Structure 1
Amino acid sequence: MAGLSDDEVLSQTRHWLEAAVIGLNLCPFAKAVYVKNQVRLVVSHARHADDLLEELDRELDLLVATPAEQIDTTLLIHPSLFQDFLDFNDFLEIAEDVIDEHDLSGVVQLASFHPGFQFDGTEPDDMGNFSNRAPFSILHLLREESVERAVASFPQAEAIFEQNIATLEKLGPEGWKALGL
């Protein structure tokens, strides 16, 4: 995905958010913060994992220093650094350590998305994997307080994962492609 402008990366990410995450209701909590413009989208130009970790440091600091009404969640998007999902997955362990180093365990949680996301024990083309597939590698920084509030207001939040798989299986590969993803 090298060579894409920031505007193209942001456009593709917004399309994914609107068509899949919100449009398919994969995350029933996403729409509220998205329509209030409380989702910070940041395109990373890091050339190495260490550079991305420095950007993660800055984004964590900014997120916790900014009221949730302004920035409730952050998507740190990297269009080219982690083409291989397993490399990205290995990097996530280090990213989790950064959250601990900032003493933000229990304050900020990390979710991740990748174009080749694959749950352990699944085949690459299993539709359930698409619940965490995005056009680019994304580190999603969520405020624990916001997650807890959202989960408390959503009946049977523990069923979201199963509902997502059912939705994606019903949609199928052709339906996913029809979304322009």
Structure 2
Amino acid sequence: MTASRPDPLAATRAWVKTFVVAHDVCPFAGREVARDSIRSVAVPAHDREAALLKLFDECRHLEANPEVETTLLVLTEGLEDFDDYLDLLEIAEALLVDQGYEGTFQLASFHPDYVFADAEPDDPANFTNRSPYPMWHLLREAGLERALEHHPDPEGIPARNVEAMRELGHEALAEALARLRG
């Protein structure tokens, strides 16, 4: 008998609340969680073209629904390998520009095995971009700019996050992420 894995969207919502908001990784996320303005959609990515088309469906959804601030596209299957994920992310970012969305939307990227280019794989700092499932976070640039205008130190957010992750430690962070995945 195998234990059932949690629903990817439920695991992602739990991650947003218990990690992103709880550790203030994104100082703007708590407000959007409280407003219920974060949309989450499951996107199977074994068909890369279909996943990219879903990204643009979500751009159109955000354009048509100003009450939704942001969309988390949870890539439920097909991009478990981090390098494969990065390859498709690069295409997605280029297509956002090609389709005229530069300056309107941007992607923040998250993956269970995220490693920054200048970091070691076991550096706790990588957990600022690690999530239960591969994910594209589609952000409204205008909303991000408004939020940054009201933050006392937007340039200091990344360094503060790195310090916080290193204080928590790799083992504790890895265990917490593993619990979300079931």
TM-score, L = length of structure 2: 0.91
**In the aligned structure 1, how far is the partner of 2:158 from the partner of 2:63?**
28
1:99-144: per-residue Cα shift (whole Å, max 9, x none)? Answer: 1132110111111100000000211110000000001110111001
- Matching residue of 2:80: 83
Aligned length: 175
**In the aligned structure 1, how far is the partner of 2:118 from the partner of 2:143?**
31
- Matching residue of 1:20: 19
**In the aligned structure 2, how far is the partner of 1:103 from the partner of 1:143?**
14
**In the aligned structure 1, how far is the partner of 2:110 from the partner of 2:91?**
16
Contact 1:79 1:137 in 2 (8 A): yes
Please report how far the alpha carbon of residue 178 of structure 1 lies from its aligned counterpart in structure 2 after TM superposition.
Answer: 4.7
2:169 counterpart of 1:172: yes
Q: Which runs of 5+ in 1 are unaligned?
A: none
- Matching residue of 2:89: 92
**In the aligned structure 2, how far is the partner of 1:55 from the partner of 1:34?**
23
- Matching residue of 1:126: 123
- Matching residue of 1:61: 60
2:56 maps to a residue whose letter is D
1:50 maps to a residue whose letter is E
2:40 counterpart of 1:41: yes
Moved more, 78-87 or 105-114: 78-87
Please report how far the alpha carbon of residue 35 of structure 1 lies from its aligned counterpart in structure 2 after TM superposition.
Answer: 1.2
**In the aligned structure 2, how far is the partner of 1:127 from the partner of 1:117?**
11
**In the aligned structure 2, how far is the partner of 1:83 from the partner of 1:114?**
8
Contact 2:46 2:79 in 1 (8 A): no
SS in 2 for 1:44: strand
1:140-178: per-residue Cα shift (whole Å, max 9, x none)? Answer: 110011000000000111100000011001111233225
> After the TM superposition, which segments of 4 or more aligned residues of structure 1 sit over 4 Å from their partners?
none
SS in 2 for 1:165: helix
Contact 2:45 2:76 in 1 (8 A): no
Which structure has more relative contact order (CA 8 Å, sep 6+)? It is 2
Instruction: State the Cα RMSD in Å.
Output: 1.6
**In the aligned structure 1, how far is the partner of 2:133 from the partner of 2:119?**
21
- Matching residue of 1:73: 70
Contact 1:43 1:76 in 2 (8 A): yes
Contact 1:39 1:71 in 2 (8 A): yes
Moved more, 170-179 or 140-149: 170-179
SS in 1 for 2:121: coil
**In the aligned structure 2, how far is the partner of 1:32 from the partner of 1:151?**
13
State, as a whole percentage, how many aligned pairs show the same letter.
38
**In the aligned structure 2, how far is the partner of 1:27 from the partner of 1:42?**
20
